[in-house]
Structure 1
Amino acid sequence: MTTAAEPADVTDTDVDAVDPDVTADGTVPADRPPIRIGGEAETIRTLTTAVAAGTLPDVFVAGGQLVHLSRVSGPAVADHATGQPSTLPVQADPLTASALAFLLAHHTYVHRLKKDRETGEWTEVEASPTKTALSAVLSSRYWPGVRPLNGVVGSPVLRPDGTLIQTAGYDPATGLYYAPTAPMPPVPTHPTTQEVADAKTFLLDRLLCDFPFVAPADRANHLALLLAPILRPYLGCLTPFGLISATTQSSGKTLLAEIPGYIYGCKNLVWRKGDDSELEKSITSALHSSSPIMLWDNIAEGTIVSSAVLAQLLTSPQWSARMLGSSGAGFTATNNRLWLATGNNIRLGGDMATRTVLVRLDPNDPHPDQRDQAAFGIPHLDNWLKNPTNRVTVLRHLLILVMDWINAGAPRSGHTMRQFTTWAGASGGLLAHHGIDGFLDNLTEMREADDEDAEWVAFLARWHELNHDRRITSRQLRQQAEIDIVNNQPVDHWEGAFLTDDQGRTPSTKSIGRILTGHIGRWHGDYVIRSAMDTHAKARVFWVETRTTDHVDQAEPDQTPAEQADLWQ
């Protein structure tokens, strides 16, 4: 018969005990629940029942898979270059057959009956289940009696009801396990007016005062990103990509990105330009880590961040990828991280502009690295943040602002942002509640950073100048791109605005047709492509409208391709 014990949270004693399994006289302690096993099938059923009943401490279920929370021995793992914590003091690992055998041996008394050949008497002997039985138990994806684990956090976060997780250990209301990276004094749930004022003064006039933000929007955007890990469990939403772009080296962009890294824990990633397959592997590897912040630091100057893989990640609650070298098994993880990048004069492409929050720095100084640190609000901030006590100070002030906003009813702003509207409305409301202006006011600059969109705006503007609202086929459009010879001089009617491929060449007629079809109805600036089928020529025709254009009936074109054949003659 199997006896269940109440699950216990991970504690230091779990690691430091010399031998929790036997007493000095070699007998089995009474607090080890007995599990009697028999044949293979019986063993599988018995172990499944025992695990489901919570017999093993610190075993949880995540995505249908059993995981075990264990404390990492030794000092907290840190990045030696930055001093940032790269992992949390507690980590969750998938439960394997060998790990299950280890837990059973240490926390239960697994035994079977053995018959003495001489006396015929049955006695209990301690036993270890076979690997086959252990693997069979772990193959189950349904564990209704096992506590769900939705993540491990190293700092206090908001529950969905607006209360703050401050007690270390497992939080049943959220399924989160709070493992503080440094001792954290209690944060007042109802901070005083003076505490709120002090928190705002510290964050704006000391912590961030020396960063050369281009505009108030850049400071407000960074604060919103800094608060995102605290708000995420409360909001239950995705957060956008944070891009910190500076005009020159030594502007402070890396340090600005490291602030959330120091506070919550960070993993540094390597950006490989134009290689989505490598980026996918990098993201999959990163999500095996418990770090809440994922950072691509110092992307090469002038890089255009344009990735379908990254764009998909940012708008997907779950990340799934096939494991390398596996034909069927895959990896799935909850996308609950904050993804950041830094670089000088970074540009955007693809769908990244609508998924990104921009923070710009411009020191307007030929030698920003020679600024007098002694005059800073916090001199040598990078070293200051390496002290856990100072990191707790920053975090406490952030939490005070959050709790004051919660007590005011958590007002929202009217900001909208694609799949991130929940985050934008809450962040905008929190900042406005504290009188911090500018949040998301640099959307125009964000669009200007979108090189691909800028190219489309120029292309469609010139198309409209040349063709107005006349409808043409992709073949005719391709013919217009040809360079004419006028008075022995080459003439480009498009003035360099026609679309080109990755090699800078004019695409083929078929490629142009595919490209235009992919942008039908999508606005670029004040221009949009419309399309219809020509029933006479059985060909698709395209035209450009502007925001001021009277929209015409799209069901039937007013000109056939044949009637437009003389357009450039």
Structure 2
Amino acid sequence: MRCVLSEILDPCVAVEASQAREILPLLPPESASVYSTWRSVAAGLKGIGDPTLYKDFYDWSRQAANFGGCRELWDGLTGTGLAGLLKVAEQFGVRPQSTGRKPCLRLTPELDTVIPALEAIAAKADGVYQRGGLVALSRDVDPPANSIVASTSTKTITLRSQALPERLAQIANFEKWSAQKRDWIRCSVSQDLANQLVARGYWPNVPKLSGIVPSAVLLPDGSILTTPGYDKESGLYLDSQDKYPAMPSVADAVDLINSVVVDFPFESPCHQAAWVAMLLSLFGQYACGGNAPLFLIDANVCGCGKGLLVDAALGIYDSHTAGKVGAPTNDDEWRKLISTIAAQSWSYAVFDNVVGRFGGSSFERALTTTRWQDRRLGLNEDIDMPLHVIWVATGNNCHLASKDMARRTVHIRLESPLENPQLRTTFVHSNLLKYVRENRTTLAMAALAILKGYVDAGKPNQLPDIGSFAEWSGLVRSAVVWAGWTDPCVSSARLIEDDEGTQLLRELLNAWPGPSTSAEAVSLAAEDAKLRLAIESVTGGRYNSQALGVFLRSVKKTVVDDKRFVPAPGRRWQVEKI
């Protein structure tokens, strides 16, 4: 079979049109005189999408004793496609021999037609999408239990030009002109053509992939995505074959979710509400259309169950083992990790057992953007792709890198009165993760019931926007409060007060001697241990007037405990009480 140019632009139409033309002459001639059959054949042919099939329908209809009215019928029909035509064929025991035949594209020197044709063929390849470039789905069949893997068993990988010829060969056959044989011969797509297709940067027929989700999720229009595979409207790929039960009432949903964490010693109700917000964020992140804050889980002692609390939420959302990563130690490592997470379409990321300073400028940027722009690792090219990730961290005595980080964090605090809480034996759920696994779809529908219930109610009593998370606050945070929990963002007040930068500024404000230049303060600190320690802390150990001056200018008029640094005459600085 050969494809003309119009057929090349959609190889699947070419295949179906060929099969239709094979079916028509096999149908009994008298069937054209039966109105229901005649009408079904027309609907099937029209639905294939090749307008040239009208002539085939017209010619076939000429067999009818009552021939006529072909154009009027054709124009007034909604097509049923090849499936409808095959149903007619089955009535007469007809089956086309070419089922599964691939179209053939002749690779001519006219690149302005060949490259678009290759792009249209690539769009029909299974698991090929565009996400900051051409990508393909990659499935981990059985990853090792101790491996660091993406948040679902399916992730995206960059589709390199070297892999394209194989993908294209799955959809179509290719021919090139042989001057020696003076005829067209079978071939594969050359590497040069594959390179040009990848470098094109414009693939109008290749579906766009917004993300991969391991569970049913709430969509922007208020509906719930439950159909496995790719959803064209949202651009999401649902990597799950789960069958979901009926959605519970909001009241029952609240009870179900509370039952999961009944054994955890939350410091206060707002910290439990913060965990609920984390759970609902997983199911509602794509409905928000914006960013979600970082969820930080810590405790007063080891063994309170921080990791178990994370695993419970992720176990409801994802049937696969959650991958956890270590926190990067510098901004360059942050940037590389975030680029990997974006490229592989993670829907969440967990930083486990964070110690010391956490965060950085790249991570703060990731928290406040829905698209990630960077340089592709190992290559001299830019990337620009969606970034929809729920960020979670656990740790004891970790410090957020800045006050901005504290404002972008929701705090989940566990506080046990026991010296060794891991030795507890009395639990409602003796094996919480088993309970979650056995009731996962029910619990997932409970989370969705709260989100959808709030949307269906018209999103009443929306809470005020918070910084870069207006959409999240308007849906997830507001739904949590609407359902009866407290405001989860109240939990962040202590983080903002106690972040490392605020503490250091507080110490310098309290130790400042009076109106002084930075040089005078450094000189006075030689006899004042408290002032010297404060200066060394805010300058990162650089005990000199220049570093101190830079710091003072950066915190000018920043208020801590109703005090702030303000300029004074003679290039001095003084503490002002407000």
- Distance (whole Å) between structure 2 residues aligned to residue 516 and residue 73 of structure 1: 52
Give the equivalent residue in structure 1 for 2:350.
295
Matching of residue 48 in structure 1 with residue 104 in structure 2: no
Q: Is contact 2:291-2:367 (8 Å) kept?
A: yes
Read off the aligned partner of 2:556 and give its amino acid letter: I
1:51/1:324 Cα in 2 relative to 1: closer, same or farther (>3 Å)?
closer
- Distance (whole Å) between structure 1 residues aligned to residue 149 and residue 256 of structure 2: 23
Matches within 5 A, 1:84-483: 86-114=150-178, 117=181, 122=183, 124-180=184-240, 182-185=241-244, 187-188=246-247, 195-204=249-258, 206-262=259-315, 263-264=317-318, 266-272=322-328, 274-300=329-355, 303-326=356-379, 328-350=380-402, 351-372=404-425, 375-385=426-436, 387=437, 389-463=438-512, 466-467=513-514, 470=515, 472-483=516-527
- Distance (whole Å) between structure 2 residues aligned to residue 495 and residue 116 of structure 1: 89
Q: Alpha-carbon deviation of 1:325?
A: 4.4
Matches within 5 A, 1:51-90: 51-52=119-120, 56-58=124-126, 61-69=129-137, 72=139, 74-75=141-142, 77=143, 80-81=145-146, 86-90=150-154
Q: Deviations over 1:454-493 (max 9, x none)?
A: 2212322443xx43xx5x432233333231xxxxxxx55x
Q: Alpha-carbon deviation of 1:210?
A: 0.5
1:256/1:134 Cα in 2 relative to 1: closer, same or farther (>3 Å)?
same
1:73/1:108 Cα in 2 relative to 1: closer, same or farther (>3 Å)?
farther
- Distance (whole Å) between structure 1 residues aligned to residue 362 and residue 292 of structure 2: 16
Q: Alpha-carbon deviation of 1:396?
A: 1.7
Matching of residue 38 in structure 1 with residue 90 in structure 2: no
- Distance (whole Å) between structure 1 residues aligned to residue 547 and residue 177 of structure 2: 74
Give the equivalent residue in structure 2 for 1:23.
none
Q: Is contact 1:455-1:497 (8 Å) kept?
A: no
1:234/1:456 Cα in 2 relative to 1: closer, same or farther (>3 Å)?
same
1:275/1:187 Cα in 2 relative to 1: closer, same or farther (>3 Å)?
same
**Stretch deviating more after TM superposition (311-320 or 403-412):** 311-320
Q: Alpha carbon RMSD of aligned pairs, Å?
A: 3.0
Q: What SS does structure 2 have at the residue aligned with 1:142?
A: coil
1:129/1:444 Cα in 2 relative to 1: closer, same or farther (>3 Å)?
closer
- Distance (whole Å) between structure 1 residues aligned to residue 163 and residue 451 of structure 2: 40
1:52/1:520 Cα in 2 relative to 1: closer, same or farther (>3 Å)?
farther
* Unaligned residue ranges in structure 2 (runs of 5+): 14-96
Read off the aligned partner of 1:513 and give its amino acid letter: G
Give the alignment's TM-score, normalised by structure 1: 0.77
Q: Is contact 1:61-1:67 (8 Å) kept?
A: yes
- Distance (whole Å) between structure 1 residues aligned to residue 359 and residue 155 of structure 2: 33
- Distance (whole Å) between structure 2 residues aligned to residue 298 and residue 526 of structure 1: 34
- Distance (whole Å) between structure 2 residues aligned to residue 51 and residue 186 of structure 1: 40
Aligned length: 485
Q: Alpha-carbon deviation of 1:415?
A: 4.2
Q: Is contact 2:539-2:551 (8 Å) kept?
A: no
Give the alignment's TM-score, normalised by structure 2: 0.76
- Distance (whole Å) between structure 1 residues aligned to residue 178 and residue 395 of structure 2: 68
Q: Is contact 2:140-2:154 (8 Å) kept?
A: no
- Distance (whole Å) between structure 2 residues aligned to residue 66 and residue 325 of structure 1: 17
Q: What SS does structure 1 have at the residue aligned with 2:351?
A: strand
Q: Is contact 1:267-1:293 (8 Å) kept?
A: no
Q: Alpha-carbon deviation of 1:61?
A: 4.7
Give the equivalent residue in structure 2 for 1:15.
none
**Stretch deviating more after TM superposition (421-430 or 126-135):** 421-430
Q: Alpha-carbon deviation of 1:423?
A: 1.5
**Stretch deviating more after TM superposition (344-353 or 391-400):** 344-353
1:311/1:64 Cα in 2 relative to 1: closer, same or farther (>3 Å)?
closer
- Distance (whole Å) between structure 2 residues aligned to residue 175 and residue 286 of structure 1: 18
Read off the aligned partner of 1:94 and give its amino acid letter: T
Q: Is contact 1:417-1:424 (8 Å) kept?
A: yes
Give the equivalent residue in structure 1 for 2:38.
none
* Unaligned residue ranges in structure 1 (runs of 5+): 8-26, 484-490, 549-569
Q: Deviations over 1:21-63 (max 9, x none)?
A: xxxxxx9866412211123xx3574133342476523465534
Q: What SS does structure 2 have at the residue aligned with 1:137?
A: helix
Q: Alpha-carbon deviation of 1:378?
A: 2.2
Q: 1:498 aligns with which of 523, 534, 545?
A: 534
1:414/1:519 Cα in 2 relative to 1: closer, same or farther (>3 Å)?
same
- Distance (whole Å) between structure 1 residues aligned to residue 159 and residue 336 of structure 2: 23
1:241/1:74 Cα in 2 relative to 1: closer, same or farther (>3 Å)?
closer
